[in-house]
Amino acid sequence: MTDKKVKRARKIRKAATLGLALTLLASGLAGCAQSSKTSSSAAPSASASSSASPAASPSASAGQATNVAAKADDYVLQIGFGGGLCEAALHIAIEKGFFAEEGLKYTTTKVDSTTSLELISTKKIDASFGLLAKMIQPIENGLDIQFVTGVHTGCIRILVPAGSPIKSLADLKGKRIGVPGLASSPAVVARRALAKVGVGVTEKNMEVELVNYTAADLPLALKNGAVDAIAHSDPQAVVAEKDQNLTELLNTATDPFFKNEYCCVAYLRRDIIQDHPEAAAKYARAIQKAAHWVAEHPDEAAQIQIDKKWVPGDPKLNGEVLATYDFRPSGSGAKDALAVTAKDLQSLGLLKETTSIDQLVEHSYIHLEGVEDNQVQLNK
């Protein structure tokens, strides 16, 4: 090859190399511009996310982006509901739009006291609302739920016929007490209350007989003399009290020992809380907002429950009952009620002696972002 041809070939190679470099440079600049555009478009969300932590450093931006993505979760929460007056906060969260206000997507499934825990354990529902006491033994046995807020106090009564010789809880010694399930919350409350007045309710010393009836049949069993007393929850309890002229031996809404104890709680499956924490927090916050609304509008809440066919009964009477409950929602209230009740159950032999109450409580309660946490002294 001549010198001229060699020089010409070198020039061609240099030109090709320069062209390739310019192409790569242009491509890199375009990529940077696109990245800048993407970051800019995400800025409002990132700003909203970081507003809760104004001291966050620029190095947290990657974490913020992940947090924003998590909050965009469109999971549809499957909520189980029942027909109890004490579920007013759940019913109102739907009817007054508190779930919608939180941006929660959800469906509802009708449950009852015998199916709610089965449905949540088989993953047919994700969340529900109910009486705390009935859930503690199933939790010990592996029910994997977590309480997210206490909602209110009250809602369980022990009743006898007017004129009965039974005048106090202590007088129930040797008597038959009708309950809507031997492991139900009314049964658990009855055993706790009787133990505190010295009536034996343990396996080794059972001084009463608990008799199982359906919730609807309990008032009739009492009227017919099949039982001497009934332990029941509202609205059936208060309706029976008024219709049959019954006398209260215990009302957890007013009893000195029980009146500050959260009976009803909101809860979700643990895997839902882990996989969809924002949906879980929206659920808890909406329930708490609704609880405050019920506290301020008990009569209107009762009317809505009946108009929308959530519960039966008389709206005036139901409103009066709701007004006796303390609808002061609290996350730690649920935790404290769980601890107090679990300790009582263990002392009655209803939980294993080897069960650590502290571990059970820590395992079964979680505080979620933005959930109200009123401090309430229980059983004082």
SS (H, E, C) the chain: CCHHHHHHHHHHHHHHHHHHHHHHHHHHHHHHHHHHHHHHHHHHHHHHHHCCCCCCCHHHHHHHHHHHHHHCCCCEEEEEECCCHHHHHHHHHHHCCHHHHHCCEEEEEECCCCCHHHHHHCCCCCEEEEECHHHHHHHHCCCCEEEEEEEEECCEEEEEECCCCCCCHHHHCCCEEEECCCCCHHHHHHHHHHHHCCCCECCCCECCEEEECCHHHHHHHHHCCCCCEEEEECCHHHHHHHHCCEEEEEECCCCCCCCCCEEEEEEEEHHHHHHCHHHHHHHHHHHHHHHHHHHHCHHHHHHHHHHCCCCCCCHHHHHHHHCCCCCCCEHHHHHHHHHHHHHHHHHCCCCCCCCCHHHHHHHHECCCCCCCECCCCCCC
**Which pLDDT value is given to residue 72?**
57
156-161: strand order across its sheet: 209-212, 176-179, 229-233, 156-161, 246-251
Q: Is 228 left (phi over 0), alpha (psi -120 to 50) or beta?
A: alpha
For the four alpha carbons of 196, 198, 203 and 208, in that order, the dihedral sign comes to negative
The structure tokens 């009787």 sit at: 194
Half-sphere exposure of 108 (CA within 13 A, CB side): 14
Residue 35: what residue type?
A: S
Q: How far apart are CA 372 and CA 363, in angstroms?
A: 20
What token pair was written down for 101? 């206000």
**Which pLDDT value is given to residue 6?**
37
Which residue in 236, 234, 186 sits closest to 210, CA to CA?
186
Which residue in 369, 302, 301 sits closest to 331, CA to CA?
369
Could you state, in chain order, the average pLDDT of each consecutive group of 10 residues for the chain (380 residues)? 43 42 38 35 29 30 37 84 91 97 95 84 94 94 95 95 96 98 94 97 96 95 97 92 96 93 95 96 97 97 95 91 93 93 96 96 93 67
**Dihedral angle, C-alpha 272, 278, 279, 283, nearest 10 °:** 110
